[in-house]
Structure 1
Amino acid sequence: MSTEFNRAVSIMSYQCPLCHSALVNHTQYWRCENNHQFDLAKEGYVNLMPVQHKGSKNPGDNQEMMQARRLFLNTNHYHPLREAVIKHLDEQLPENAQQLLDIGCGEGYYTSEFTQLQAKHPELSVHGLDISKVAVRYAAKRYKNCHFCVASSHRLPYSDAYLDGIVRIYAPCKDEELQRAVKKDGILVTVSPAARHLYQLKELIYNGVHLHDMEPEVIEGFDLVTDQQLHYDMTLNGEEATALMQMTPFAWKTSDAVWEQLKTAIDLRCEADFSIRVYRRQ
């Protein structure tokens, strides 16, 4: 391996999704020593999702779901959640943290605000990863102070022990990948629905709502250090209620009558209920 390649490897952040060797930035593309090459999009992101790793032609949320999510998140009904996650990161990130990853970053609603942490951690780089190319393109175009890539959360394109922290809001990731990519004493912040999350929306669909299980997830190689429940009421207008329902996994079960009810809603009360947990790498 050449001296130039070794020097470039020392500052790289990505790992080849095909052979798992280091990717080196050559201004307009990333390339590994085995000549697997991934172009840098004009918006500034890199697509590290090989065709053979895709489960469909365009994995991730469809355009309708993305538009609904953008509309709803822009209302800031989830602002308390974002602030709570930032507070946990501020308190728990290692002192000299340099690399923070948001798994399932979507269009960057949470990711972009994690840059606040650079005031305390001046060397911190903020990364966002999502399987949806359309979402990542939007995020990269809008938030130039973060690093975005299209990739699978089950194949994190980062070298071993590269990350000081990971945020996982509703996003799946294999335990072994978390163990591999997070440094010793690094942290993992997870967000999942708590017992009564969106209870009022579910009441419109189901006969008898089953409350979410709030048992903390056991993640091999990590210790649970903080377990917070964040619960508050939201007051939604018709557009917001419709967009929120479109974001949910039970939207496909929603009848035409319920969609109409949501569309015409005025001051619909709906509970937000989250479990926010911080784990530390052993």
Structure 2
Amino acid sequence: MTRIIGILAGLFFSVAVLWAFVIGAYTAATEGLGEVTAEEVFHEEPIDLHLAAASPFGTWDLQQLQRGYQVYKEVCAACHSLRYVAFRDLAQLGYTEAEVKAEAASWTVPGIDPNTGEATTRPGLPTDYFPEPYPNEIAAAAANNNAIPPDLSIITKARHHGTAYLYSLLIGYRPPPPELLAQFPAAETPPGLYYNPFFPNLNLAMPPPLTTTGQVTYADGTTATIPQMSEDVAAFLTWSAEPTLVKRHQTGWPVIGFLIFATVLAFLAKKHVWSRVVPPARRREEEVL
């Protein structure tokens, strides 16, 4: 009886696996054969953006990172947090200790009144992290058409083609093309949203943050065009997501060199150790002779 139950149970699971395989194969074969959507036709792939630190031997462009930080501070920080970055981390951008202290003090962070114990605010310290622009998610949604602005600390790691996607999104705001409404009448951009072909569903709740040349006045005199500001802030947020990128590249090459050397050394050692071992076939030949 136990054997029969085991056979039936095995047969049941086999049929279930086969059924799942058939359904999965059918879904994969028929996927994409339905009605074409506006997103499939008008969505654009991100524009390639090559940063100085992206290559294996590259380094950060510190001037660009400082410009990108300035764009974040003057434009993006009004809605987006940077909660995983501390003010002291700005020293990696080439700021001196005094400049980091002054920069931290220019921000207002939550604090506690030492006399009453009540919540208050105070100037930031280098050990503080960048403050949240909203007290909570409800306030953030209420101020942004029910869309909560994401934290930007690791945004370039959280999005496919992170750096290129962010750059393309910032420069991609435009009116919907006439072909879109002609081909898909129901794809009209709803009120409160903005057409952007680099966004997956084409309509974005975030208004264009960069709208005009000179919106930010760069300290190094660089002309602040929309593409320039977009590239700079994309570079800064790439650094915030992976500040050890250059160090990792620099460490990787010696490690690869050591592994290659160790592999060659192990191969030569193997050849030396086994060089005096006679194969069985050859041993039998020598015994016959």
TM bracket, shorter-chain basis: under 0.3
Q: Which has the higher contact order (CA 8 A, sep 6+)?
A: 2
* Higher helix proportion: 2
**If the length of structure 1 is used for normalisation, what is the TM-score?**
0.25
* Higher strand proportion: 1
Work out which of the two has the higher radius of gyration on C-alpha atoms and give 1 or 2: 2
